[in-house]
A and B are shown apart, each in its own frame.
Chain A
Amino acid sequence: MKPPLIKCNDLTKVYKMGQSEVYALNGVSLEITKGEFVAIIGSSGSGKSTLMNMLGGLDKPSSGEIRINGENLGTMSGKKLARFRNATIGFVFQQFQLLPKKTAHKNVSLPLQYRRPKPDNIDVRVKKSLEMVGLADRATHRPTELSGGQQQRVAIARALAGSPQVLLADEPTGALDSKTSKAIMALLQDLNRQGITIIVITHEDEVAAYAERVIEFRDGKIISDHLQKAA
């Protein structure tokens, strides 16, 4: 058995709302192995987004431990966390979050611009990422000249450009129609088959159906965690 890529141990996240305390996460423990395609589902407020922020190194737990690649994110400095995000995580957002005035090529190159030391083959890697999402011919287009599905593909290419260990997708189809959603999920599935670990956060069962493993959240806790035959 391979050692887990991600290991969470009794994670809690507490928000203070006036006098009362709200548990966004309440004792979450889970392990994710390299190469898995995991869907984390739950309704809004279930804690799935909080977990995703923590896995992405954007947020720190109130207690508990989160280790990715053996490194404890909870004790990292802001600078180290930034490096971790840059090298280990690829983000895909619901609203794509592309820079509207930059070309697809520029958008995809973003993570590599923040890599230290600066890689000398940025252009090659950007082209390769765009090829992987089937948009090699759209490199010079701006987001406004692309369809929603194409924009999300550019965003996925951007997440891939930094060769991350994990691709974190937060409601990647939330802003897309069902046909485009299917194509995007198929793309993620395809990328997973090429060996990339993918974690998708969603509230839609159709999206979760593409994953091999589904973890369900409710009220800050895992209520089910099971493997399935992917669609």
Chain B
Amino acid sequence: MSPFTTLGLAASSLIERPLRTLLTSLGIIIGVAAVYAMLSIGEGTKREVEKQLSSMASRSFTIWPDWNRRRTSQSKPSFPFKESDVDEIRNIAGVFAATGSLQRNSTTISTEIGDTAANFLGVDPDYLKSGGQEMLAGENISYADIEQSAPVVVISDGIQKTLFKNQDPIGLSIKVNNIAFTVKGVTTAPDSNISFGGNADMFVWAPTSSARNRVIGGNPYVRNHIRSIRVIGDIGANFPKIEQEINIIMRRSRDIKTGAPPDYRIFSSRGWQERNAKSQKTISYLLAAMGAISLLVGGVGVMNIMLVSVTERTREIGLRMAMGAQKSDIMSQFLTEAILICVLSGLIGLGAGYGLSQISLGSEEIKMVFSPKIALLSFGSALLIGVIFGFLPARRAARLNPIEALRHE
């Protein structure tokens, strides 16, 4: 019997028993959909993690004094950092940039046009560069500005829109808490990975010295204090090592005794991202297990139905043998039937899996990716199930004795 005729025979046998075919295929459909979902979540997670880990935000640490702690018995508030701390950290191997900043949230920024609440920061030239921000107009803050404590600022485009009605603000005057500065440059707002709470578009950056001297004020304990330090590592740098070195520098600078808890904290979005990746991996293993179990159960279902089918059609098998069907003809007839149902279910399952992945595209937590490799793999597992679980029933059919089969009631 030609392969084409065998296929037609298998197809008509499935069509002749629609309900049974549908029920049998359900297990395989669910299994393949789960396998597909699992693989595409895994792939999506991998790509997302790669993307996140190569982004600027994931390569950065931010160091803050621990405001919640008081310094041992002296009951003094936690010290801010010194500018020299930044210089030391900048020299650690694998550090791409280190920059110190001062910050005052909710300052009032005003021009002739109006006023708004904004984040006011004192920064050095590296700050804007290392934050991945783009200069839109004018110039960045320079070291000369810091040295001279120049009354200049760089503003975010949000400020430009609100307080300058989008006209060119370079050289114009702007007031920070009623203290006059001159606008030197316009830049984009920092990306959302670095959270400033409210006023996410409203930023004014001044040189550290002028911000300290003119707006924020000095610190009674530390000369030339710095509120926080941002450290950016090189791509592929050994981040735990960098963190360790930062700790050594900070403990020495802040005179923390061996074994005493630190009075500062190092924040890194990297750890959070890695935990996130891990939890997605767990989801994907869970789905893998579900898919495998479903495929297995589905496969057993296929085998069961094929065994029933062979018993039911014993007389048909006997007749076909009497008409000249060879064992291989009978074998391939039933094997084809099992494979066909698995392949069709596999296709439907792929469709369902693809649909699921389209739905999940809107969700932030789960990333799914379509790839032909994944489709082929989940489809291949359906095919394999068909072959494995179709074999036994098909062999049973092929081994029937035609005389007894013809007499079967």
Contacts and interface: CB of A to CB of B under 8 A. Distances in A.
Interface of A: 53, 56, 58-59, 78-79, 82-83, 85-87, 91, 93, 97, 99, 101, 110-111, 113-115, 118, 158, 162
Contacts of A85: 321-324
Interface in B76-113: none
Interface residues of B, number: 21
A113 B403 contact: no
B322 A113 contact: no
A47 to B, nearest CB: 14
Given A111-B323, A162-B324, 8 more contacts: A78-B327, A82-B324, A82-B325, A82-B326, A97-B315, A101-B12, A110-B323, A114-B320
A71 to B, nearest CB: 15
A58 B324 contact: no
Contacts of A110: 319-320, 323
B222 interface: no
A86 B1 CA distance: 12
B365 interface: no
Contacts of A59: 403
Contacts of A83: 324, 326
B313 to A, nearest CB: 9
A113 B2 CA distance: 8
B402 A114 contact: no
**Ranked 9 nearest A-B pairs via Cβ:** A86-B324, A114-B324, A82-B326, A97-B319, A111-B323, A85-B324, A101-B16, A110-B323, A91-B322
Nearest to B322: A91
B191 to A, nearest CB: 66
B329 interface: yes
Contacts of B406: 93, 97
B300 to A, nearest CB: 27
B244 interface: no
A91 B320 CA distance: 11
Contacts of A113: 1, 5
B1 A114 contact: yes
Nearest to B9: A113
Contacts of A53: 403
A79, A97, A111 — most chain B CB neighbours (10 Å): A97
A194 to B, nearest CB: 22
Contacts of A118: 1-2, 5
Interface in B272-310: none
B148 to A, nearest CB: 96
B324, B325, B326 — most chain A CB neighbours (10 Å): B324
A111 B324 contact: yes
